Amino acid sequence: MRKDDGDGTASEASNGRASADLGKDPYWRNIKAWENVSEAEFMSHRWQVANAVERKGKLLNFLAAVLPANIPASRLDERLKSPTTREEFLLDVEEGMRVAPMAVRLTPHILSVADWSNPLDDPIRKQFVPLASTIVEDHPQLSLDSLHETDDSPVPGLVHRYPEKVLFLATSNCPVYCRFCTRSYAVGSNTESVLKTPMKPSKRRWETVFEHIKNTPAIQDVVVSGGDSYHLAADHLRLIGDRLLSIPHIKRFRFATKGLAVNPIRILDSRDGWVDAFVEISDKGRALGKQVAMHTHFNHPHECTWITELAARHLFERCVTVRNQTVLLRGVNDDVATMSTLIRKLADMNIQPYYVYQSDMVQGVEDLRTPLSTILELERQIRGTIAGFMTPSFIVDLPGGGGKRLANSFETYDQASGVSTWMAPGVTGEEVFRYYDPIGRRT
């Protein structure tokens, strides 16, 4: 049932109550071009979309306006051959984009939480804006489709690897493009180095997916992803939700979206229909005894602002189950203090810190990958410091299609060679999978 009857009154009143308890820092005004943007404008999803930064020219113009003339040296990585002036930095970005597997797209919210006075060390910049000077040699075992998803696709846009669950790639667009995306073979526009295999939203393609699911009674669980469910129109979200709910053997499904992390404004904008469509599906599922959840993707505490807290509270009040999947990234969240703070912030927003993933072995972003030893040490330090049900599982998604395993469940791990071996007896029998630490960063 909708809390909001169409004029937004109910949700605005509820948000007003919540915001009274929260500092309302107009953080977007740190960006000179937005210093006169009112809270009402910034809180408009339409404004967020109109002011998103995508494509090289727009990004370079944005950076030219926000970067200092002299770029401070990195405090975190002494090996960095870093640019020292704004002009050098812009050239570095241009060259980085020439070889990056992912295109660039950034929301005003996420651009506003970055510290552009220190762009070399900033955890937001590192995730979204490539720099040629930070690129390090790819391990020879890396590939664009490291999880071999296309090998397990019975119909285009459906990965069916495990008997009872499937991954439905409904779209290949996202509100932002992450440099380290596992699906860089398909997601976003073509780049100079990667010609994508796109999964455009298409009812005809989706029909073949629904048919496969309907005709395969063993399937109980669907992940609707892409791409990002935030880039599905509200009607498309309803269509997918209703079709899945109508299939008797589907017991549960989740929509994957980074939207809450990178554009929480949409959740609160009562003029936009996306969240109402989501809540409708979630409510219908509950009435049928089926769980519909949102899986989101926060990687750093700086991504959370008072608007994020309001958006998360709005979802909580409307009984939406939200879980988070963090990707472990070197120089972003690979230390105990940052990861612990992120987990606590998520827990405080009633978002379950569900997974922390070891970075997949994807080409072109080796500067962000950590050795396996990092995730093992993080778990060792963090487990026990917060309630068990708010402690994430620390996971490796096995390259080559072995599925997700607890990071500490390896068969062998030789830190000198950086090779760990894994088995998934319940899924692939005696097959052995290997994960390779990045070259030169094995401890």
- Which span sits near ligand SF4 by CB under 6 A: 41-49, 57-65, 174-182, 275-283? 174-182
Distance in angstroms (rounded) separating the CA atoms of residues 346 and 323: 9
Distance in angstroms (rounded) separating the CA atoms of residues 126 and 93: 11
CB of 174 or CB of 247, closer to ligand SF4: 174
* Phi, psi (rounded to 5 degrees) for 112: -80, -20
Give the position of tokens 């493009």: 177
CB atoms within 10 A of CB 310: 25
For residue 161, the minimal CB distance to ligand SF4 (Å) is 18
CB of 122 or CB of 228, closer to ligand SF4: 228
Footprint of ligand SF4 on 176-215 (CB under 6 A): 176-178, 181, 183, 187
For residue 180, the minimal CB distance to ligand SF4 (Å) is 7
For residue 383, the minimal CB distance to ligand SF4 (Å) is 26
Kindly tell me which residue out of 126, 160, 258, 290 binds ligand SF4, with binding defined by CB under 6 A: 258
Reference 120, options 110, 107, 129; nearest CA is 129
For residue 294, the minimal CB distance to ligand SF4 (Å) is 13
H or E stretch covering 244: helix 234-246
CB of 304 or CB of 424, closer to ligand SF4: 304
Q: Are 31 and 15 in contact (CB under 8 A)?
A: no
For residue 297, the minimal CB distance to ligand SF4 (Å) is 6
**Tokens matching residue 316:** 């909580």
Q: Is 369 in the site for ligand SF4 (CB under 6 A)?
A: no
How many chain residues interact with ligand SF4 (CB under 6 A)?
A: 12
For residue 417, the minimal CB distance to ligand SF4 (Å) is 29
Report the SS3 class of residue 295. Answer: strand
Footprint of ligand SF4 on 221-250 (CB under 6 A): 226-228
For the chain, report the end-to-end CA distance as a whole number of angstroms: 52
- Which span sits near ligand SF4 by CB under 6 A: 154-162, 171-179, 235-243, 345-353? 171-179
Q: Are 178 and 226 in contact (CB under 8 A)?
A: no
Report the SS3 class of residue 20. Answer: helix
Query: If you ran DSSP here, which 8-state letter would residue 424 be given?
Result: -
| Binding region for ligand SF4 (CB under 6 A) | 174, 176-178, 181, 183, 187, 226-228, 258, 297
